[in-house]
Amino acid sequence: MLNLSTLLEDSARRYPTKDAFIFMDTHLSYAQINGAANQIANGLAAAGIRAGDKVALSCLNLPYFPMIYFGILKAGAVVVPLSVLLKRDEVEYHLKDSEAKAYFCFLGAPGLPMLEEGYAGFRSVPSCEHFFVITAQPTDPSPIDGLTTLGALMQGQSPTRETAQTGAEDTAVIIYTSGTTGRPKGAELTHSNLALNAILSADLYGAGAEDKLLTVLPLFHIFAMTVMMNAGVYRGVTNVLLPRFDAEAVLGLMLKHEVSIFAGVPTMYWGLLNYENKTFDLDAIAAKLKMCLSGGASLPVKVLEDFEAKFNVQILEGYGMSEGSPVVTFNQLEKGRKPGSIGTPVWGVEVKIVGEDDQEMPVGEKGEIVYRGHNVMKGYFNKPEANAKTIRNGWLHSGDVGVMDEDGFFYVVDRTKDMIIRGGLNVYPREVEDVMMKHEAVSLVAVIGVPDDQFGEEIKACVVLKEGAEVSEEALREWTKERIAAYKYPRHVEFLEALPQSATGKILKKELRKG
């Protein structure tokens, strides 16, 4: 038997009075988080939630997230974390698709009407029986009459509980993929998937009870959930929560709490690197920062090198996906690292590069990244056709184009869906982006394919310039042309103030294609 909430229970026994989560001026110990999770589990049981029932959760990076997450698990139910940016129709789809019986939803924030959208979506799904409002303070009344608050659910419930017995292969979390092609699919991750990934993640970056993590990546996303929250809870670290990325806020919290470990996506490192610092002692921040992690998308080597020089810290880049719980490969300290690579397979996971016939490709040849191991999901919830396509002969097909070098290090070339076919020749945007990022005036770039009568697709670069820098479209085009094969350079260049990003900080190329 295995229940993922063991991670919290064990640390609550070992470090009962230690800060588990810090949010603004609120400090909550491991014993407090565990007690609150037990009250939530008891409240859910009293409301009729049974083992295996699905419970959805929309919440910003607040201490309520881990309380509710582990509370659902302690009840033997399945957590369905939802993006905080979902609109009512999307909430309705996710609640229906996951067969959720209950839904916890936070009030929201300025410009983010979570409760309004969440409740509207919930009302369209009769099979979802319970709606719980997460208010700013547990004693606050519900802003909508007749709705039960989280505080009311917990009131009078015991802070102790015998955790529901679940099997290692039982589903613990259904996490929705971003839905870049078609509707989002719910990846079923087991207690075993998530526990093993949390343990190996803590080993990868050497987390110890003395560490302080800063979590600004959204907790509803698998990267933050496993690599920061679950791994951190397993090792008894103190986790500082920030609901939204802001370079000034991140640096302020790093300084105030002497943060030792930070994880981000490439746009966050870019944001920290380009922040015009007037107030922070960067040497003091760098003195405490011992490790940075990057994932979610490929980190441009120039950004990695400049950030490491500025903060005197290593960034370890890894690769993962929701379907892999998430970590698949990582630059691991004992094996050495290669900037620009996604590292080597993590413990217990096999990775290879295959061609269209699923045969392994020779070293240095491009193909699809496939993997197998303890991290592979059970499958997409209620999607047998998608499962048959994605998991073949035990290997999960990632949809990412990669290559392996002679030392066994893997590199992501691009997403299959992002590949541009220009006049019958394959062009990988990442390759063009890496070249253009080396131009002294370029701060950020995203390369996309646009329809073209002659070549089928033509290459377009969407560019954000460094502050105060100037370069013409023609000059940038010519500069790139000199450094890359003739069929690969962008024929179209557009300068933008900023690039559209998802809630997790990924650049949204589909939005650029619409434009």
One domain for residues 188 and 205: no
Tell me: the pLDDT tens digits for 424-446?
Answer: 777 888 889 989 999 999 999 99
142 in any annotated domain: yes
Other C-beta atoms closer than 10 Å to the C-beta of 183 total 12
Are 268 and 149 in a shared domain?
no
Same domain, 137 and 210: no
Tens-digit pLDDT profile for residues 346-373:
999 999 999 989 999 999 999 999 999 9
Q: Are residues 456 and 478 in the same domain?
A: yes
Burial of 264 per CB tally in 10 Å (0-12, 13-18, 19+): buried
**Per the domain annotation, does 414 fall within a domain?**
no
List, as one string, the DSSP characters of 368-427. EEEEEETTS-SEETT-HHHHHHHEETTEEEEEEEEEE-TTS-EEEEEEGGG-EEETTEEE
Out of 99-103, 150-154, 462-466, 509-513, pick the least confident. 509-513
β-pairing, 420-422 vs 315-320, is unpaired
Half-sphere exposure of 102 (CA within 13 A, CB side): 31
336: pLDDT strictly greater than 70: yes
Is the domain of 264 the same as that of 334? yes
pLDDT attached to residue 210: 98
Tell me, yes or no, whether 183 and 223 share the same domain: no
> What CATH number is associated with residue 12?
3.40.50.12780
Backbone angles phi, psi at 36, to 5 degrees: -65, -40
- β-strands 238-241, 212-215: how paired? parallel
Phi, psi of 364 (to 5 degrees): 85, -10
CA distances from 221 to 174, 239, 411 (A): 11, 16, 23
Q: With 70 as the cut, is the pLDDT of residue 251 above it?
A: yes
Cα distances (Å, whole numbers) of residue 249 to 228, 255, 293, 328: 18, 10, 19, 31
Residue 310 scores a pLDDT above 80:
yes
Neighbours of 401 (CB within 10 A): 22
Instruction: Supply the pLDDT for residue 506.
Output: 85
- The torsion defined by the Cα of 74, 75, 77 and 83, in degrees rounded to 10, comes to -60
Whether 360 and 442 share a structural domain: no
Residue 456 lies in a domain: yes
Whether residue 33 is contained in a domain is answered as yes
Whether 412 has a pLDDT exceeding 80, the answer reads: yes
What was the pLDDT predicted at 182? 66
Give the per-residue pLDDT at 404: 98
Q: Which two tokens stand for residue 52?
A: 């295996």
Cα–Cα distance measured from residue 319 to residue 55, given in angstroms and rounded to the nearest whole number = 28
Q: How much of the chain, in percent, has pLDDT values that exceed 90?
A: 83
Name the pairing type of β-strands 425-427 and 26-29: unpaired
Query: What percentage of the chain exceeds 70 in pLDDT?
Result: 99
Of 53-67, 234-248, 264-278, the least confident: 264-278
The answer to whether residues 229 and 185 belong to one domain is no
- Determine the pLDDT at residue 178: 67
Coil, helix or strand at residue 22? strand
Q: Which residue reads 């253009």 in tokens? A: 436
Pick from 439, 416, 320: nearest CA to 366: 416
Contact 94, 124 (CB under 8 A): no
332 and 229 share a domain?
yes
Tell me the helices (H) and strands (E) count for the chain, helix number first.
17, 27
Task: Answer yes or no: pTM beyond 0.75.
Answer: yes
Nearest alpha-carbon partner for 485 in 413, 424, 416, 427: 427
Least confident residue range of 5-14, 57-66, 256-265, 480-489? 480-489
The answer to whether residues 269 and 298 belong to one domain is: yes
Q: Which amino acid is at 407?
A: D
Whether 181 shows a pLDDT value over 70: the answer reads: no
Give the tens place of pLDDT for each residue, 104-152: 999 999 889 999 999 999 999 999 999 999 999 999 999 999 999 999 9
The encoded tokens of residue 60 equal 């910003």
- Residue 367 belongs to some domain of the structure: yes
Residue 389 lies in a domain: no
Looking at residues 69-75, what average pLDDT do you find?
Answer: 98
Domain boundary (371, 405, 430) is at 371
403 falls within a domain:
no
The mean of the pLDDT values for the chain is 94
Number of domains in the chain: 3
CATH number at residue 436: 3.30.300.30
Averaged pLDDT for residues 77-92: 94
User: Which domain, by its residues, includes 456?
Assistant: 419-514
Q: Are residues 181 and 218 in the same domain?
A: no
CA–CA distance, 329 with 323 (Å, rounded to integer): 13
Predicted pLDDT at 111: 87
Instruction: Find out whether 256 and 216 touch, Cβ atoms under 8 Å.
Output: no
For residue 431, the model assigns a pLDDT of: 84
Separation of CA 128 from chain center: 26
Domain co-membership, 41 together with 151? yes
The confidence score (pLDDT) of residue 349 equals 98
pLDDT at 179 over 60: no
Residue 404 within a domain = no
Domain boundary among 307, 336, 371: 371
Tell me which residue has tokens 């003091």: 284
